[in-house]
Structure 1
Amino acid sequence: MSQPAFTPDAYAAQLAAKQQRLHELLAPFAAPPAQVFASPLSHYRLRAEFRLWREQEERHYAMFEAGDKHTPILINDFPIASQRINTLMPPLKAAWQASRVLSFKLFQVEFLTTLAGDALITLCYHRPLDAEWQAEAEQLAARLGVSLIGRSRGQRLVIGRDYVAEEMTVAGRTFRYRQPEGAFTQPNGTVCQHMLQWAYDTLGPRDDDLLELYCGNGNFTLPLSTRVRKVLATEISKTSVNAALANLADNAIDNIELVRLSAEELTQALNEVRPFRRLAGIDLKSYDFGTVFVDPPRAGMDPDTCELTRRFDNILYISCNPETLARDIARLNDTHQVTQCALFDQFPWTHHMESGVLLQRR
């Protein structure tokens, strides 16, 4: 990415184009105008991944255009990444340049940071990591004030913690999150906070229960749980489930049941197609669900899950792909209508966008 692209006028034009695109996709459903949440123009991305490119005995941070693995774009700073990442990049590079132990067969570097200022660096190698590497890596982590993970085939050595600590404030309450290395987290922390507040406001105070599919590490689960009687949340990733359970404990929230099931499996359980040992002790019939919250992957909801959501009076849907969002709304349009809509610009300077809708029973 070239520096001239980072101008307010260019950003405003791009955001307007995204708004128009979302409007056109949702126009067949008579959706109201979208509330738009813009991103900071720079230093918004909390994670970054770089390959290393060797030139004249020096390894550089590098990125590649899609489809081209042979023409590197050498990186000295990265204006879309957080200030913390940009601050860490030069001393980390100096450290591997000064140490054969740290640099030998190092091929990739990953940064994970938070709005709260925490940082984790992962160094990836094409060689086994030994005690000499561990000793130097421990000194490096202490100098940089970070946690550090070394990865090679069959190895994962953790110095400090294997997660970063984040804080998000919604409706005046601060929620603490563990965000593990290798698990999905929202990359744009500022916009993520807008998403949480929008979902909280849109759900509103209720006296019934919430079903959440694809809950991840509990990013939305925690603030939404304060709006309802109780929550049943599902997630298939073990890493995300473990993080979510830790986050429930860290925030002293006790009205959430978390189950490691896919959305498809939960559909089977609710339809009484088959029992699941992972639901032992949970009485599904005790829930009075008024709303289902979904934040699916880019592929959207599978047809069975889409049919499941039709049962609920309210469907709160966060999407990272407006095309599959529009497809799923079309499937539900005979029973539900879009009553609220939002655009969250998680990915400025790209064509990607996040959006949110509230569908309510006609």
Structure 2
Amino acid sequence: MSAVNPADYRRQLDEKTARLAELLAPFAAPAPQVFDSPREHYRLRAEFRLWREAGQQHYAMFAPGEKRVPILIEQFPIASEQVNALMPRLKAAWQADAALGHKLFQVEFLTTLAGDGLVTLCYHRPLDAAWEQAAQQLAAELGVSVIGRSKGKRLVVGRDYAVETLEVAGRPFTYRQPEGAFTQPNGQVCGKMLNWAFEALGERDDDLLELYCGNGNFTLPLATRVRQVLATEISKTSVNAALHNLAHNGVENVTLVRLSAEELTQALNKVRPFRRLEGIDLDSYAFGTIFVDPPRAGMDPDTCELARRFERILYISCNPETLAANISQLHDTHRIERCALFDQFPYTHHMEAGVMLVRR
């Protein structure tokens, strides 16, 4: 991670824009739309190890590859204002109460733009009734949920999720974000991503296939643009959150199945049947668009070949190198109609990108 210097933000963003343009240049991509980030307090999640020094435990982080020399932290400017407000109050609580502080080694914060918060405390010891009583008092004082973790055991005080609200094209969507499951770390940029994808898809009278749908982050707004959606996700926690989010937001045209992208590819190719698809007629869908938001490794070659069948491929990527590699496989049949850079991770080399590919 580079030094956090808001005065240098624009230069770094320009460098990322040039790098993305260079990666997509072989495919005659248009200039990317650029969506910037707040300079500070943009990260809704934060995770710290604890380091004991002078008889006290402090928040600590380590440089990549360095586990012996900590960077002690009192405030964390890239984290949300809510995280920064919680940090000293939580530290004071574990210092004052051994039930909270004894063998505590890691703290995780999850906050939302909607103002919800969740704190996870990780221990090298079993959690007992004294811990639970102290955690209940802590949750009440901080106004957040508190989760204790110890060797595979989890105790929840409050809820095991945070609630977020994001607005797309003037409509608010509410999301349950489970503790420990993936969520976009930069909430304001996530909102920009959702609106860009919503606009890029446009109003359609056909169906959408979505792979890697997570908790339904994109599913909810995109479902309002098409006739129906078949969405897949492999994580059971994320599937359960997505089902709740769909029902809570009144989105009724989505069928969600717990399959990996590779398994769905096999099902659509009729390689083998899956019991989890029982009662779902894949042939009844008139798919016009496939939407993918894959992990950093990108799409595997078979999923790329599946995507080639679609008129439109809407692709959100957290790794522009694997995005470019996937586009090289698709370039003979699809062209890039629009692309975007989303600066999810200021002051680092990481970037999120989006492309809409259409059939030639």
Q: TM-score range by the shorter chain?
A: over 0.9
What do the CA deviations read for 1:146-202 (whole angstroms, capped 9, x no partner)? 000000003100000000000000011000000000000000000000000000000
RMSD: 0.9
What do the CA deviations read for 1:294-352 (whole angstroms, capped 9, x no partner)? 00000000000000000000000000000000000000000000010000000000000
What do the CA deviations read for 1:87-142 (whole angstroms, capped 9, x no partner)? 00011000000011111000000000000000000000000000011001100000
Residue in 2 that maps onto 1:63: 61
Residue in 1 that maps onto 2:119: 121
Any idea what SS the aligned residue of 2:50 has?
strand
Residue in 1 that maps onto 2:209: 211
Tell me which of 194, 197, 202 is aligned to 1:196: 194
Query: What is the aligned residue count?
Result: 360
Residue in 2 that maps onto 1:152: 150
Q: Distance in 1 between matches of 2:349 and 2:278?
A: 44
What do the CA deviations read for 1:35-57 (whole angstroms, capped 9, x no partner)? 00000000000000000000121
Dislocated runs of 4+, deviation >3 Å: none
Residue in 2 that maps onto 1:31: 29
Q: Distance in 2 between matches of 1:272 and 1:182?
A: 34
Show structure 1 runs of 5+ residues with no match: none
TM-score where L is the length of structure 1: 0.99
Any idea what SS the aligned residue of 1:247 has?
helix
- Report the AA paired with residue 107 of structure 1: F
How big is the shift at 1:238? Answer: 0.4
Residue in 1 that maps onto 2:6: 7
Any idea what SS the aligned residue of 1:143 has?
helix
> How many percent of aligned residue pairs carry the same amino acid?
73
How big is the shift at 1:77? Answer: 0.2
Show structure 2 runs of 5+ residues with no match: none
* Conservation of the 8 A alpha-carbon contact between 2:6 and 2:40: no
Question: Mapping of 1:134-149 within 5 angstroms?
Answer: 134-149=132-147
How big is the shift at 1:280? Answer: 0.7
Q: Distance in 1 between matches of 2:267 and 2:355?
A: 26
Q: Distance in 2 between matches of 1:337 and 1:286?
A: 28
Q: Distance in 2 between matches of 1:333 and 1:147?
A: 48
Q: Distance in 2 between matches of 1:109 and 1:72?
A: 15
Residue in 1 that maps onto 2:83: 85
Q: Distance in 1 between matches of 2:251 and 2:65?
A: 45
How big is the shift at 1:252? Answer: 1.1
Any idea what SS the aligned residue of 1:216 has?
coil
Tell me which of 247, 250, 260 is aligned to 2:258: 260
Q: Distance in 2 between matches of 1:248 and 1:293?
A: 17
Tell me which of 321, 324, 330 is aligned to 2:319: 321
Residue in 2 that maps onto 1:273: 271
What do the CA deviations read for 1:241-293 (whole angstroms, capped 9, x no partner)? 00000101110111000000000000000000000000011110110000000
Residue in 1 that maps onto 2:244: 246
Residue in 1 that maps onto 2:302: 304
How big is the shift at 1:6? Answer: 2.0
How big is the shift at 1:211? Answer: 0.2
Q: Distance in 2 between matches of 1:6 and 1:185?
A: 25
Q: Distance in 1 between matches of 2:4 and 2:239?
A: 39
Q: Distance in 2 between matches of 1:135 and 1:6?
A: 42
Any idea what SS the aligned residue of 1:338 has?
strand
Q: Distance in 1 between matches of 2:67 and 2:241?
A: 34
- Report the AA paired with residue 158 of structure 2: G
Any idea what SS the aligned residue of 2:180 has?
coil
How big is the shift at 1:14? Answer: 0.3
Q: Distance in 2 between matches of 1:71 and 1:5?
A: 20
Residue in 2 that maps onto 1:345: 343
TM-score where L is the length of structure 2: 0.99
Residue in 2 that maps onto 1:222: 220
How big is the shift at 1:5? Answer: 3.7
Q: Distance in 2 between matches of 1:274 and 1:199?
A: 32
